Amino acid sequence: MTRFRRTLRQTLTIARRDFVATVFTPIFLLFLFAPILMGSFGAIGGMGAASMSDGAADKSRLVAIVPATIAPAMIREDDRLRRLFRGDERPPELSIATPSADPAAQARATIDEKQYDIDAVLYGPLDRPTVLLAAPGRYTGNYLEALAQATVAAIRPGATMVTATRITAARTRTSIGGQHQSGFFAVFGIFFLTLFLAGQVVGTMAEERNNKVIEVLAAAVPLEAVFFGKLVGMFGVAVLFVAFWGTVVGQLTTLLPPAAAAAFGDLYPAVGAPMFAVLFAAYFSMAYLLLGSVFLGIGAQASTMREIQMLSLPITLVQVGMFALASAAARLPGSWIATVAEVFPLSSPFAMAGRAANSPELWPHALAILWQGVWVVLFITIGARLFRRGVLQSGSARPFWRRRAKA
């Protein structure tokens, strides 16, 4: 048997033990149903979602392609009509564009504008206008039609209004608002899950230390395999947890009223929904393994439960910090802060999940998962070496710099 296969077998033996020891206990049920008690997360998520939703509204626009002579009247009427709506019901801001030789083609090109999500474009003569909609049934089409009528009435009092022609032209790209919402959903979702689950890993080595089992393990198995086995075992527990709640939430969404279900339809990840789901799962795994490997290495140095409990605050702070960094990256795709969040190992899975929502390119994800995997191995190796040196006292008697100084 090769050394790799032996190590793999030993890793899985440890993982199996930890999985069984965790799942087949009454305490696990308490853990499994803990989310019911966690209403506070709903509040946090709600605030974040509201923030993202506001961001999405900021990115929406209406466009009227009208001659410059009509523009001032239309702006005045827009200002007047807009006041009739309550704050959160007001239509998106209006932009005026000067007609080109082919207003229809111009309108279609406008719908695909990259800087904003264009909800609807009005073009053609105001008494027989055409409204091009980004999606069918948008109330913004009604608003543009009413605006055209009001503008005609203002310019030529008593003029007869002809009903506008409506055309729907789906965007050739996903909506920016939908991308941002998807980005937040991904970042928050992974944060939420890892906050719940990755912190568990911190105390797992304490069991071996307290029961003196560690020497049996250390004699039989490389410490790296012990560490990785424990991480994989606890990851299995996390997957079980996610599968359970994923199924529950999935079933609950079928019971949602159509309006609430439509809100989920506003999620438009740039890579497409199926790939987004795959990448979400991949980045959740990597976030768990990265944070878990760090927490495992740190927790293994703690010798008492009190020390482990003391670690819970810094661990939570690290996770919240990574969430904040990745949230900023999701709001500002392509910015320097996004690049930092994508490259820094502990925030990389969060930020890259956000990127999957905002950018259709796939190759950066392959690179990122590889990069994150390297760091998992690195963290495990460092954790195992620190444990060997600090706890097993199997290192050089003196640090190398002191040995050199003495020499």
Partner 1 sequence: MSDEWAVTAAGLVKRFEDRRVVDGVDLMVPRGAIYGVLGPNGAGKTTTLRMLLGIIEPDEGQRTLLGEDNPRDAGDRVGYLPEERGLYPGMKAREAVAFMGALRGLPWREGRKRAAELLEEAGLGHAVDEKVRKLSKGMAQIVQLLGSVVHRPDLIVLDEPFSGLDPVNQEKLEALIVAERDRGATILFSTHVMAHAERLCDRLAIIAGGKRRFEGTVDDARATLPAHVHYLPHRPDPAIARLLPPDAVAVGNGWRFMLPASGIEPLLVPLIEAGHGIAGLTVERPSLHEAFVRIVGNIGHAPRAETIA
Q: How far is the CB of 233 from partner 1 (least distance, A)?
A: 13
Residue 50 makes contact with partner 1 by CB under 8 A: no
Q: With contacts defined by CB under 8 A, name the span among 121-129, 192-200, 203-211, 361-369 that binds partner 1.
A: 203-211
All residues at 6 or more sequence positions from 297 whose CB lies less than 8 Å from its CB, including other chains: 227, 379, 380, 382, 383, 384, 386, 387
Distance CA 260, CA 135 (A): 18
For partner 1, which is the closer residue by CB, 86 or 406? 406
Q: Which residue of 214, 232, 294, 308 would you call a contact of partner 1, by CB under 8 A?
A: 214
Residue 398 makes contact with partner 1 by CB under 8 A: yes
Q: Give, as ranges, the residues between 321 and 380 that touch partner 1 (CB under 8 A).
A: none
For the chain, give me the number of helices (H) and strands (E)?
19, 5
Q: Which residue of 77, 208, 358, 376 would you call a contact of partner 1, by CB under 8 A?
A: 208
For partner 1, which is the closer residue by CB, 222 or 364? 222
Q: With contacts defined by CB under 8 A, name the span among 117-125, 145-153, 205-213, 372-380 that binds partner 1.
A: 205-213
Q: With contacts defined by CB under 8 A, name the span among 26-34, 61-69, 177-185, 216-224 that binds partner 1.
A: 216-224
Q: How far is the CB of 239 from partner 1 (least distance, A)?
A: 21
Q: How far is the CB of 18 from partner 1 (least distance, A)?
A: 10
Residue 30 makes contact with partner 1 by CB under 8 A: no
Smallest Cα–Cα separation from 299: which of 212, 384, 396? 384
Q: Which residue of 152, 193, 202, 218 would you call a contact of partner 1, by CB under 8 A?
A: 218
Q: How far, in Å, are 21, 153, 202, 307, 334 from residue 314 at the CA level?
A: 27, 65, 11, 12, 30
Residue 156 makes contact with partner 1 by CB under 8 A: no
For partner 1, which is the closer residue by CB, 332 or 391? 391
Q: How far is the CB of 34 from partner 1 (least distance, A)?
A: 21
Smallest Cα–Cα separation from 304: which of 233, 224, 210, 185? 210
For partner 1, which is the closer residue by CB, 35 or 222? 222
SS3 304: coil
Residue 324 and residue 340 in contact, taking contact as beta carbons nearer than 8 Å? no
Amino acid making up residue 179: Q
Instruction: Characterize 331-361 residue by residue with b for buried, 16 or more Cβ atoms within 10 angstroms of its Cβ, and e for exposed.
Output: bebeeeebeebbebbbbbbbbbbbbbbbbee
Q: Give, as ranges, the residues between 258 and 317 that touch partner 1 (CB under 8 A).
A: 303
Q: Which residue of 43, 216, 263, 273 would you call a contact of partner 1, by CB under 8 A?
A: 216
Q: How far is the CB of 231 from partner 1 (least distance, A)?
A: 17
Residue 1 makes contact with partner 1 by CB under 8 A: yes
How many chain residues bind partner 1 (CB under 8 A)?
Answer: 36
Q: Which residue of 133, 217, 237, 329 would you call a contact of partner 1, by CB under 8 A?
A: 217
Q: With contacts defined by CB under 8 A, name the span among 80-88, 138-146, 220-228, 327-335 that binds partner 1.
A: 220-228
First to last CA, the chain: 43
Q: With contacts defined by CB under 8 A, name the span among 3-11, 77-85, 144-152, 308-316 that binds partner 1.
A: 3-11
Which residue reads 């019901």 in tokens? 89
Q: Which residue of 79, 207, 307, 361 would you call a contact of partner 1, by CB under 8 A?
A: 207
Q: For the packed helices 204-211 and 223-253, what is the interaxial angle rounded to 10 degrees?
A: 140
What secondary structure does DSSP assign to 270-291, as a single string? TT-HHHHHHHHHHHHHHHHHHH
Distance CA 189, CA 394 (A): 41
Instruction: Characterize 5-34 residue by residue with b for buried, 16 or more Cβ atoms within 10 angstroms of its Cβ, and e for exposed.
Output: eebeebbbbbbeebbeebbeeeeeeebeee
Pairing of strands 117-123, 130-133: antiparallel
Q: Which residue of 393, 401, 405, 407 would you call a contact of partner 1, by CB under 8 A?
A: 393
Q: How far is the CB of 24 from partner 1 (least distance, A)?
A: 9
Smallest Cα–Cα separation from 146: which of 72, 87, 81? 81
Which residues of the shown chain bind partner 1 in the complex (CB under 8 A)?
A: 1, 3, 6, 9-10, 13-14, 17, 21, 25, 207-222, 303, 388, 391-398
